[in-house]
Amino acid sequence: MSDPGATWLDLPAGTGYGLDNLPYGVFSDASGRRRTGVAVGDAVLDLAAVTGDPLHGTGSLNAFLARGPRAWADLRERITGWLTDGALRARVQPHLLPRDRVRMHLPVEVADYVDFYSSRHHAENLGRMFRPDSEPLTPNWTHLPIGYHGRAGTVAVSGTPVVRPAGQRKAPADDAPTSGPSQRLDIEAEVGFVVGAGSELGTPVPIGAFADHVFGVCLVNDWSARDLQAWEYVPLGPFLGKSFLTSVSPWVVPLAALQAARVAPPARDVPLQPYLDDTGAEPWGLDLTLEVRLNGEVVSRPPFGGMYWTPAQQLAHLTANGASLRTGDLYASGTVSGPDRDQRGSLIELSWGGKEPLSLAEGTTRTFLADGDEVTITATAPGAGGGRIALGEVTGRVEPAR
Q: Active-site residue numbers?
A: 122
Do residues 156 and 192 make contact, with C-beta atoms less than 8 angstroms apart? no
Does the protein bind Ca ion through residue 393 (CB under 5 A)? Answer: no
CA distances from 54 to 40, 51, 331 (A): 21, 9, 28
Distance CA 46, CA 99 (A): 11
Shortest separation between residue 122's beta carbon and Ca ion, angstroms: 9
Non-local (6+) Cβ contacts of 44 within 8 A are 25, 27, 37, 38, 96, 97, 98, 99, 102
Of 222 and 227, CB closest to Ca ion = 222
Site string for Ca ion, 203-232 (x = CB under 5 A): -------------------x----------
To Ca ion, the closest distance from the beta carbon of 346 in angstroms equals 8
- 349 is a site residue for Ca ion (CB under 5 A): no
- Report how far residue 224's alpha carbon sits from residue 77's, in angstroms, rounded to the nearest whole number: 40
Give me the amino acid identity at 396. G
Residue number with CB closer to Ca ion (217 or 384): 217
Q: In this structure, which amino acid lies at residue 212?
A: D
**Taking CB under 5 A as the criterion, which residues in 183-202 touch Ca ion?**
188
| Shortest separation between residue 131's beta carbon and Ca ion, angstroms | 17
Instruction: Pick the closer one to Ca ion by CB: 26 or 292.
Output: 292
Interface with Ca ion: number of residues (CB under 5 A): 3
Q: Which of residues 78-137 bind Ca ion (CB under 5 A)?
A: 115
What pairs with residue 262 in β-bridges? 286
Q: Which residue is nearest to Ca ion (CB)?
A: 222
Smallest distance from Ca ion to CB 368, Å: 16
What letter would DSSP give residue 358? E
CB nearer Ca ion, residue 115 or residue 278: 115
The neighbour count for residue 368, using CB atoms within 10 Å, is 23
Q: Which stretch binds Ca ion (CB under 5 A): 180-188, 260-268, 283-291, 294-302?
A: 180-188
Cα separations in angstroms, 201 against 236, 273, 314, 321, 323:
25, 22, 17, 10, 6
Q: How far is the CB of 299 from Ca ion (least distance, A)?
A: 18
Contacting residues toward Ca ion, per CB under 5 A: 115, 188, 222
